[in-house]
Each structure stands twice: as structure tokens, then as C-alpha cells.
Chain A
Amino acid sequence: MLRVAIVSLPPAYGNPYTAMGAPGAVTWQQLFDGLTRIDEAGNVVGALATDWQLIDTHTWRFRLRENARYSNGAAFNAETAKEVFDWLLSNQGRITPVGNELRGLAEVSISGPHELIIRTHQPDPILPNRLALVMMVEPKSWAELGPKAFGQQPVGTGPYMLESWRNGNGAAELAANRYGWRRPHIETVELFPLHDHAARFQAAISKQLHLSQSMRPEELQIFSERGFDALVDPTKQIIGIAFDVAGHPDSPVADRRVRQAINIAVDTQTISEVITYGKHSPASQGAAPGVFGYNPALKPYPYDPIRARELLADAGYPDGFSINATIVMGTYANDVEIYQKVQQDLAAVGIDLILEATLFSDWIRQYVTGKWRTEAFSLAWNTAPYYDSIRPMDYFSCGKAIPFYCNPSMMPAIENAATEMRPKEREQALQDLQLRFHNEAPSLYLLEYGHIWVSSNEVSGFAMANGAPQLYKLKLKARD
């Protein structure tokens, strides 16, 4: 029995269309597969699809894996795949977060028992990446039970299937999927949703768990003394504080010089070294190395409080100013510390940053409606799990439904990068955009962040892909 502590189970249980990525991805990736998968190195590889080609700029052909079966024995093939896509494109499916992500799909048709043709409205160079997060549910059960009931008893092709969402220990219990096309080494898994960090730490360090999500850098010393290994999730996000330029056009942050000044007033190098013990490097742009479109020529803003003051004076704020930022605590380990250090650094150049910590439900309401009470808010450049830097540009621009930063002069370049199918040209376009975003500084670029997982010395083979642990690869070491 493998025991894993995670931050939370998906609120909708086994309905994988209710969110893109965290927190549900960690659980869903054990139960389901997409057509594709992003591997440890960030490459898009096949999962339920074996390979794919571009037929023309709007059309892709995907060859599907034969002999893949769902956990109820039903076969996976082109027909079942098409049923799933059709649902996601239907009126009901379109209003789910995953269905919304696929709104660029025009039509999915079958060209063979294990072959799909997918046509898009616009050229979509990252369609294979997108499909990595579109979990293939078993369409008959889905249709029979409906999404909510299906969530209680999910059926997928993943290495594990669900036994119970809350067993006697309050954990979700998974068992090996005997029809799965990947056999796990460990037969059963318990996923403990421990929201509280200190409780998670205590459970991990006392060896009640084999694996634990989201530990803090200062704990790693204690963990290694007790024989644990640590792994930083390679799928990184760039954490930072974004500015509501569109909603507060008269505030200081509407001025680019002020935003740049904020970037150079904060000592990200010290934050990285001292708070994260070097585990998370300072960010230079809205993407981390390894992400497609990352511009290697860019360096993080240098730490220069004197120059910051000059910039502020140029912009007309020689005595500084006061702004508020809405933040959510606990999304990233040490985020509270990091924001408070930012506060201190800004105070040293005359900027009084007031941190308003609030609940996620309050944050997302302001984010989606675009009505921010504050001039700034916590937001990450989330290239995970696509490993492509175009994605956060969707919302750091006029492309967001109700934008917080809208610079019309950048839109042509963004739209071009979003539809350019030739890899080299696309990479160049994205790198140019990273440079422009760097200079525009619509956010304070802080760190390249990935969750830290710890594994006890009782397991071996721990690896991550797609932002989720690959539990099926783990082996329990024999006890001596």
C-alpha cells in the first residue's frame, strides 16, 4: 500500500473536466490518460495516441493506441474518443473549464478504427500539448451516469482505478487497473488530502507516508537527515504579483517605469538563496528554462534600489506611493514569506505595499470579473502543464475576457505566435514576445517555482510528469 499526501483531492472527484491542472491533475492523472502526455523533460509524447501528424495548418491526424482498455473492460478506440470530444464540444461540455480550453476545436472525425482527424478553427500549434490535459473518460458510463455521478465512480484508462473516495482512513483509495496499458508496481494507493502544511509535514516526517506534496525548502535538511529524497517538480510556474493596469489607469502602476522600478527594487536573488535555499531561481521572464519559447538571452531584473528610486522620480513619484495587493496565501510554499520580503524591499524605496490576504473564492471573483479592489494581485505565469509559453500570454494581454493588462500593440505578435505552425519561426516569435513582456513588466517577476515533493527511503523510482507524480513507476523497497 503506497501512502501519499497531497494538498487536496479534486472537489468534483472523478470528473476531470472541472479544472485545468492543479489540484485535480495529481489525482486524475492516476485514473485517466489524455491522447498525449508531457514527459519529465517537457516533451510532448504519446499516451493514448501513439503519434500524430499535421495534414494541413488546420488539421491533425492522431493514431491511437490499440489494445488500450478502460477499467470496466470497455475498449478505447477512435469511436469512444470521438464521443468524448463531441461531448466536450457540446453545449454542456463547452461550459466546463476543459471544454472551454478546447473551444478552438471545430470538429473531430474518425478516419479508421484507431485514427482520429481533428480540425481546428485557427491554426493551433500547441494542440498536442492541450490534449495532454484532456482526460479520456469512458463515454458509455459518462453518458449513463452523467458528469456528477460519474465523478463518484470514474472509469478511465489510467494505471489505477478508484476504489473509494473516502476510505476508513479518510483517504482516497486507488487500486491497480487490471485493464490498464501500464501496470503499476504497487497494487494499492492511499491519497491523503492534507490541506494544512504543518500537518502534512508532521505526517511525512513521522514516516506515516511514502510521498508528500509541497514541502518547504527549510525542511529539506530535516528530511534528508531522516533519509528522505526531495524532488522539485520540473513543471514550473513563474510566481509574481501582477498589476491591474486596465482597472486602475490612474494609479502609479499604470506607468511602465513604475512597474520596472518595482522589479528592480526587489532583491529576487536573495529571496531565492535565503528563503528557498536556491531551489527556485529568480525569474527573468514569464517562462522557465525548458519551456518552448523561453528566451535564454534574458536575465532577471538586477537588484538596484538606487536606480529604482530614479525611475520612480522620473515617473513623478519621488516620494514613493502606497498600493495594495490582493494575495492568496498558501498556494505556493513560502509564498507568504516571499510576499512579505517583497513588501520590505519596496518599503526601502518608498513604496508602501499593503498585502491583503484573502480567500481563493474572493480572489477568483475579482480576477474573473476584472473588478479588483486593489492595484495589484498575486498571479503566476502558468506555463504548466503545456510547457509552452504562449499560454500565460493569453491572459496577460487583451486576450483575457476582461483584461487587467491590455496593450493593443502587442496583440498582433501574440496572435501570430499563437497560430504560427512552423516551430523555428514560432520559437523566435515567442522569444521576442518574452523580451517585450520583460520590458513592459505587467507583473513583478519573482521566482521559477515548482512544488517540492519528498519521498521516503522506502520507495524508489519517483518521477514526475505533467505536474503529477507517476505513482505507477514507484517500487516499495523490501524492508530489511
Chain B
Amino acid sequence: MKARISAGSRLLGNFVVLLLGITTLMFFALRAAGDPIIVMAGENAGPEMIAALRQQYGFDQPLLLQYLYYLGNVLKLDFGASLASGEAALPLVLSQLPATLLLAFLGMTVTLVVSVPVGAWLGARPDRASVRIVSAIVVFAQGLPGFVTALILIQIFVVQLMWLPSLGHADVRTWILPSLSLASFLAPKLIRVIAANVAEAMRQEYIRTARSIGSSAASILWREAFPNAILGTVALVSAQFAFLFAGAVIIEVLFLWPGIGLLLFESAQTLDFPVLQAITFVVAVLVFLVNTLSNLVFRRIDPRIGQAVS
């Protein structure tokens, strides 16, 4: 029990350090990227106007002072207000988070529903002709950038056939194309990982033993091969989570999906520092959660690796 508590507090400690590190890095990196005051002042602004605006937003203070003030606020979970709209930054980001989580959930669901059966089937019998063809299709799909898939899906289902909408978020029909597009980012690779793991597992000694004592192929797959496949899957997904988020930005922009990816894109145009900082914070928390979860799964499946990795 004691070990558990100290492990937990160590985890929490790591978490806090991670967040502080990221918010600090973001603070200085953003200021290297540009000047939001000038964007706000507009094209016709003169130096006095810009100076006055700078003062109004506290950008005229020495950088270190600004940083300390900022840090103090971050510890209170106050990321300031959007430079453009004045909305409180963190609440704004949190209000748009559900849409992204929904998209991620839908995308992952589609991905798993497609990848697991296909991957298992591909891995179980790697030498049949049909398998080679499907394999080829999967590699093909891996080469298609995500936004191209979205473009093609929209062209077929929205423009030509007019079956589905590409705009909107309110009803279920608007969820179909975005989740398919997001799934196309991850599914091909996941299929291959599952297939590789399943194929590998099938080759193990214990499979042969199980087979020799009469267990059916399906039950072998289920009991022995899958846990290993899941290990590989979880490792892949958690490592790719950040990529998934980047892909989600593109999907959200294309489909006008009101999530934090779209918010990130829009805020980047005007260099809205507070919102960008809040988004980074929230994404860091999410990444941390995903990592922790995946480590837990590791530990359940293979205690040896779990211990080493954590």
C-alpha cells in the first residue's frame, strides 16, 4: 500500500514538473514566434498606438517579470483571457474539448472496429492470396495523407452523391465522414501492427503446444495471441497520440468541427498567446493521461515490461 501511495505521488510529481516545463517552454517559444499586439493594432497603427496597446495588455513589462506573473497565474489554473475576444482562455478551451474528444472517440472506435478483425485475419494466415491483396490495400491506404482521404470522401459522398453533409456537428450524419477521415490516419498502421503481432504470437511454442492438444484456432487467438497484440497496439496508439491530435487539427479545419484543433488553428493565425498556452496545457494533460493509462495496460499484460517502463 505504501509503495502504491509513493508511486502515485511520484507520478503526480512527474506530472506537475511536466506541465510546468511545457508551459514555460511555450511561454518563451511563442514570444519568439511573433507579436500579437501588432496584429491587434491593425495595419494603420502608429508607434504610439502600439505602445499604448502593449501597456494595456502588460506586454511592456520586462520578459522575466511577465513570466513570473504568468507562472503565478498558471498555478491558479488561470491562463488569462483571449487577446482577441476576451473570453477566459482555459474555460474556452475546455468548452471546445468535448467535440475533440468525441471525434477522437469516434475515430478510435472506427479504427478499432476495422483494424482488429482485419489485422487478426491478416496475421493468422499470412500466406493466402486474398491476404496479400488486402495487405496491399492497407499499405496503399497508409500512403494516403489524411486530408486527401477526407477530400476524396467529401467529393464522393457530399459533392457527387450528396448523401452526407460535410458541415455541421449537431446530428449523427455529420459525424460519419470526420470519424472515417480520422480513422484513416491510424487504421492502416494499426492493422499492420496487429497483424504482425498476431502472426508472431501464432508462431510461438505455446501455440503449437496448444494446437497439439486440440485447441481450436480461434480460442488460441483469443487467449494467447491477443494480449500480445494489444500490447503492441497500446504502445503504438500512445506513441501516436500526438500525431493523432495533429491529424485531428486538419480534420477539424476541413469539417468545421468545433474542437480544440480548430481553436488551435484559428488562434495560431492571430497569435492568441493565452489560448495557445491553454491548449498546450490541456493537450499535455491528455497526453499524460494516455501515457499513464497505457503504462497501466502494459503492467496488466506483461508485468515485467510494466515495471521497467514505469
Contacts and interface: CB of A to CB of B under 8 A. Distances in A.
Interface string B32-43: 001110111111
Nearest to B36: A361
B49 A208 contact: no
Contacts of B306: none
A302 interface: no
A107 B168 CA distance: 47
Interface string B70-83: 00000000000100
Contacts of A11: 84-85, 266, 269-270, 272
B227 interface: no
A95 B253 CA distance: 32
A368 B43 contact: yes
Interface string B254-297: 11111000100110011110000000000000000000000000
Given A169-B169, A368-B43, A196 B254 contact: yes
A18 interface: yes
Contacts of B200: none
A149 B81 CA distance: 11
B42 A20 contact: yes
Contacts of A195: 253, 265-266
A100 B44 contact: yes
A360 B47 contact: no
A402 B255 CA distance: 41
B258 A361 contact: no
A100 B45 contact: yes
Interface stretch (A133-141, A198-206, A254-262): A198-206
Interface residues on A, range: 35 or more
B107 to A, nearest CB: 17
B86 interface: yes
Interface in A187-201: 192-196, 198-199
A168 interface: yes
A202 B35 contact: no
Contact of B39 (A199, A207, A364): A364
A170 B258 contact: yes
A95 B256 contact: no
Contacts of B255: 199
Contacts of B42: 18-20, 97, 100
Given A198-B151, A208-B165, A367 B258 contact: no
A369 B270 CA distance: 17
Tell me which of A146, A152, A364 has the highest count of chain B C-beta atoms within 10 A of its own C-beta. Answer: A364
A395 B38 CA distance: 17
Contacts of B36: 361
Nearest to A165: B85
Tell me which of A101, A148, A367, A395 has the highest count of chain B C-beta atoms within 10 A of its own C-beta. Answer: A148
B43 A367 contact: yes
B12 interface: no
A394 B45 CA distance: 12
B112 interface: no
Contact of B258 (A13, A101, A166): A166
Interface in B158-200: 158-159, 162, 165-170, 174
Interface in B50-98: 50, 52-53, 56, 81, 84-87
B84 to A, nearest CB: 4
Given A95-B52, A203-B166, A207-B162, A148 B81 contact: yes
A369 B257 CA distance: 36
Contact of B34 (A8, A151, A365): A365
B270 A361 contact: yes
Interface string A191-232: 011111011001101111100000000000000000000000
A362 interface: yes
A192 B256 contact: yes
A147 interface: yes
Nearest to B33: A361
A12 interface: yes
Tell me which of A95, A151, A198, A402 has the highest count of chain B C-beta atoms within 10 A of its own C-beta. Answer: A95
B272 to A, nearest CB: 8
A369 B38 contact: yes
B154 interface: yes
A148 B36 CA distance: 16
Contact of A12 (B43, B45, B84, B170): B84
A448 B165 CA distance: 35
Contacts of B253: 195-196, 199
Contacts of A169: 167-170, 174, 256
A449 B35 CA distance: 29
A391 B155 CA distance: 43
28 contacts: A11-B85, A11-B266, A18-B40, A19-B42, A20-B42, A20-B44, A146-B86, A148-B86, A148-B87, A152-B86, A152-B87, A170-B257, A194-B256, A195-B253, A199-B166, A199-B254, A199-B255, A202-B159, A206-B166, A207-B162, A208-B167, A361-B269, A361-B271, A362-B34, A364-B38, A364-B39, A368-B41, A395-B44
Interface of A: 8, 11-13, 18-20, 91, 94-95, 97, 100-101, 146-149, 151-152, 166, 168-171, 192-196, 198-199, 202-203, 205-209, 359-362, 364-365, 367-369, 394-395, 401-402
Interface of B: 34-36, 38-47, 49-50, 52-53, 56, 81, 84-87, 151, 154-155, 158-159, 162, 165-170, 174, 253-258, 262, 265-266, 269-272
